[in-house]
């Protein structure tokens, strides 16, 4: 088969640290173009990676290189919708880094464009592609832990970016929840199998920020009786980064970071964590590599698409409800 030709739009840290270097290693992929509104950056990176041209305009890129198969969108959040729709309308498959957009309305526009053009739309939720996340979910899907009724997730870390737009509600769409909370919401809902939401309660704090929240605590109830809690913060005064996703079922439990699987057998609880599994020190980088391999594989017909636009729309509807609940101080009930 011919190589899959991919363009990258938005050349910030995640594109330079993860997407470009990883795609360079894929034998079946050609980085056909890169694009950023910063013309100097685009030209510099084009020379660095031996590409014919670095673009500063998406429309020009799509016209001059029509053979592009897919576009990875890693621009700032407020640009995701317009860029994604342009690329889908041009007949390209699209991978959008999280968050897919600023709200559910924008997300639906992107999803509708993918449906209209019959193109793949994937959202970059790399934590689904961590080896420990995949193993935990396999135990859950195999019913080894019984019926999962509670998932507890959290990510406490330093602020991811100090760019001005990142602290601007209009441009970023939100604070720590749009940065880290959406990841934990997606991971928790994925572990549960994306059940329908019944209600959401939440509280936000802005201890070190003005326009956006720097701490969030959310409680989600589902119509099947299960529940999910999320705690995310840039400002909790504790040492070190803390990332976790714990699931609890009627027959056992799982946790990641580190991976632990416990199962009830004859009324006793046993640790059944696979002993021959060692988590790489590069698990974060590996998660991006796995994500990109699934996207490329879906384009080439060897993989089933994971982290779809439809799932992202469900997540963004929950995000909208979370912000409403935090603002009003009232539980938001889903119809």
Find all residues with CB under 8 Å of 66, minimum gap 6, and list them: none
Provide the b/e sequence for 204-239 (b: ≥16 CB within 10 Å).
Answer: bbeeebeebbbbbbbbbbbeeebbbbbbbbbbeeee
The verdict on pTM exceeding 0.85 is yes
- Tell me the C-alpha distance between 13 and 75, whole Å: 10
For residue 325, give both structure tokens. Answer: 């609940």
| Cα distances (angstroms) measured from residue 279 to each of 14, 22, 152, 271 | 22, 19, 21, 17
Contacts of 317 (CB under 8 A, 6+ apart): 104, 197
Cis, bond preceding 147 (omega within 30 deg of 0): no
Question: Can you give the pLDDT at residue 277?
Answer: 73
Longest dimension (CA), the chain: 66
**pLDDT score recorded for residue 61:** 97
Helices (H) and strands (E) in the chain, counts: 12, 15
How high is the pLDDT of residue 52? 78
Residue 99 pLDDT: 96
- pLDDT for 282 equals 87
Nearest to 96 by CA among 173, 8, 162: 8
- The phi and psi torsions of 236 (rounded to 5 degrees) equal -65, 135
Q: Which helix (H) or strand (E) holds 317?
A: helix 309-328
Going by C-alpha positions, the residue among 138, 106, 140, 148 that lies closest to residue 123 is 106
Dump pLDDT digits (tens) for 212-236.
999 999 999 999 999 999 999 999 9
Q: Could you tell me the CATH superfamily of domain 4-127?
A: NAD(P)-binding Rossmann-like Domain (3.40.50.720)
Q: Give me the phi and psi of 169, to 5 degrees please.
A: -60, -40
Report the pLDDT value the prediction gives residue 239, as an integer from 0 to 100.
87
**Position of tokens 């840290």?**
13
Which residues of the chain fall short of a pLDDT of 70? 279-280
> Per-residue pLDDT tens for 38-73?
999 999 999 999 987 899 999 999 999 999 999 999
Which pLDDT score is estimated for 162?
81
Residue 1's pLDDT is what?
72
Structural domain spans, the chain: 4-127, 129-282+313-333
Structure tokens at 62: 């799509």
Measured in degrees and rounded to the nearest 5, phi and psi for residue 51 equal: -100, 150
Task: Report the top-level CATH class of 129-282+313-333.
Answer: alpha beta
* Interacting residues of 25 by C-beta distance below 8 A, sequence separation 6+: none
């Amino acid at each position: 088969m011919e190589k899959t030709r991919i363009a990258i739009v938005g050349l910030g840290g995640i594109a330079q640290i993860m997407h470009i270097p990883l795609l360079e290693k894929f034998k079946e992929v050609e980085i056909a173009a890169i694009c950023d509104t910063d013309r100097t950056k685009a030209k510099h990176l084009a020379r660095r990676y031996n590409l014919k041209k670095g673009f500063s305009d998406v429309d020009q890129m799509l016209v001059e290189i029509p053979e592009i198969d897919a576009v990875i969108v890693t621009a700032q959040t407020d640009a995701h919708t317009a860029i994604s729709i342009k690329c889908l309308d041009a007949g390209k498959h699209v991978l959008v880094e999280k968050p897919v957009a600023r709200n559910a309305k924008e997300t639906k526009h992107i999803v509708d464009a993918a449906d209209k053009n019959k193109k793949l739309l994937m959202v970059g939720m790399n934590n689904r592609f961590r080896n420990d996340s995949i193993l935990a979910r396999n135990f859950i899907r195999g019913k080894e832990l019984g019926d999962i009724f509670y998932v507890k997730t959290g990510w406490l870390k330093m602020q991811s970016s100090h760019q001005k737009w990142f602290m601007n509600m209009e441009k970023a769409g939100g604070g720590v929840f749009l940065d880290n909370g959406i990841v934990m919401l997606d991971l928790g809902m994925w572990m549960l199998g994306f059940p329908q939401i019944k209600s959401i309660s939440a509280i936000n704090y802005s201890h070190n920020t003005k326009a956006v929240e720097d701490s969030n605590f959310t409680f989600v109830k589902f119509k099947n009786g299960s529940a999910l809690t999320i705690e995310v913060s840039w400002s909790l005064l504790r040492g070190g980064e803390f990332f976790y996703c714990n699931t609890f079922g009627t027959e056992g439990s799982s946790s990641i970071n580190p991976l632990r699987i416990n199962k009830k057998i004859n009324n006793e609880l046993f640790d059944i964590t696979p002993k021959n599994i060692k988590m790489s020190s590069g698990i974060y980088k590996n998660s991006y590599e796995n994500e990109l391999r699934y996207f490329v594989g879906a384009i080439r017909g060897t993989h089933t698409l994971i982290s779809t636009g439809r799932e992202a729309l469900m997540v963004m509807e929950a995000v909208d409800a979370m912000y409403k609940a935090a603002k009003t101080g009232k539980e938001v009930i889903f119809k």
